[in-house]
Amino acid sequence: MFNESIIKTNLSGMVGWNQPTTTGYDIVDAGNLGSTSGLKFDEGNSLVTIKNVKETQEDKDIIDVDFNTFLDNLQNSCIIDVLTKAFADKSESVENKTLFPYEQRFENSHTPGSGFVGVQIRPSLNKRVSAKISNISVAFDAVKTFKLYLINSQKPTKADALAEIEVTTVIGQDVKFYVLDFDIPLSGAGFSGGNFYLGYFESDLDGAQPYKRDWENASAPILSGDFLFPTFHRFINHRNIDNSGYIDIRFYRMGITGTTINVDERDSLSDGHGINFEYQVYNDWTDLIIQNKTLFARSIQLQMAAKVTEGIMFSTRSNSTQRLMDDNIRNLAAFALNDTTTGIRALLNKEIQNIRKTFFPKHRIMVKTLR
């Protein structure tokens, strides 16, 4: 898995376009002309030209600004397509667990204070691992609507929350809410390091009290007064097994100043205080891709060639340049795309395989003789 937003920001512009000399098509802006690798899309194949792209995209009246946006989006699409192929079957989930997997009694409750109550999540130092909260459950003794926030310690304010969700409680019941954007990134998103806090401001409860998890099987093991959940017991990469990866999860009540969490003013809690959630740990290749981004330039160039050529083959527009609708040019495009030796797809597949060998080499079996 990789973070698409971060990837697009860092890989876009590695390959660019040449400014056409044809009158009426010299419309490419500076952003789409730039190429940090030196490669140009229109140098990858003779069919890949700005003229052909413009005449086969759907809007025959497209203005220059919108066409450049189209080119930018097309490049980002090529980047994601290449990485999806290169890292196919390498983004598997490592672990999927519920914090408190057992039932509770819904009998006793905690009296709220005046701070921020929640879970501190300290992610692994191994940047090839990320975590995601997939759903959150809340259990309170009154019907109440309030918000849960995911906040990073580097910007510990309600206004700077990475994500938030409004929940409505039901008396005597765990209520589950599925979430999409409660990610625990190890890099990017404006953060490099820091802890993450998932919880609520007690002042928002308006008298509602969180249930204690006082069933004999309802609490997770306690370690040194805090909850510690080592996850990701093994990390497997293409070289070795690293047992250092883990996510540290602890419960705290922290002081606040207005809507800012005081991360250094905290008391350990021995209970979730109404919060439970399910989390996933998975392989994250974002950092590795960015560190080696130049390795993807040629494949991105070829992926663009494939998309442009397909556009020529399947365009349904009545083009001002009628030759694009001619059977001869369609046949030429089909050959350029599909030739098993020198075709665009063959070259792209070879490039993808080379990338996979670089990142995931197969080790040779060593044979030794005894003397």
Each residue's pLDDT tens digit, 306-341: 999 999 888 776 655 555 556 677 788 888 888 888
Under DSSP, the state recorded for 218 is T
Average of per-residue pLDDT values in the chain: 83
> CA angle 58-59-63, nearest 5°?
140
pLDDT of residue 236: 26
Kindly report, residue by residue over 24-83, the tens digit of the pLDDT. 999 999 999 999 999 999 998 999 999 999 999 989 899 999 999 999 999 999 999 999
What letter represents residue 35's amino acid?
S
pLDDT of residue 329: 77
What letter represents residue 273's amino acid?
H
pLDDT of residue 322: 52
pLDDT of residue 103: 79
> CA angle 278-280-284, nearest 5°?
155
Cβ atoms of residues 136 and 275 within 8 Å? yes
pLDDT of residue 227: 41
CATH number of 93-284: 2.60.120
Map out the domains of the chain as residue ranges. Answer: 4-88+290-359, 93-284
d(CA 11, CA 9): 6
pLDDT of residue 334: 86
Query: In sequence order, what are the residues at sequence separation of 6 or more whose Cβ sits closer than 8 angstroms to the Cβ of residue 117?
Result: 199, 200, 202, 210, 251, 252, 253, 254, 269, 273, 275
- If phi > 0 it is left, if psi is from -120 to 50 it is alpha, else beta; for residue 207 that is left
Strands 196-201 and 163-168: unpaired
At 198, list the tokens.
């998932």
Output the pTM of the full model: 0.71
What stretches in the chain show pLDDT beneath 50? Answer: 187-189, 221-245
Buried/exposed 198-228: b ≥16 CB within 10 Å, e otherwise: bbbbbebbeebbbbbbeeeebbbeeeeeebe
For the chain, give the percent of residues with pLDDT over 70.
Answer: 82
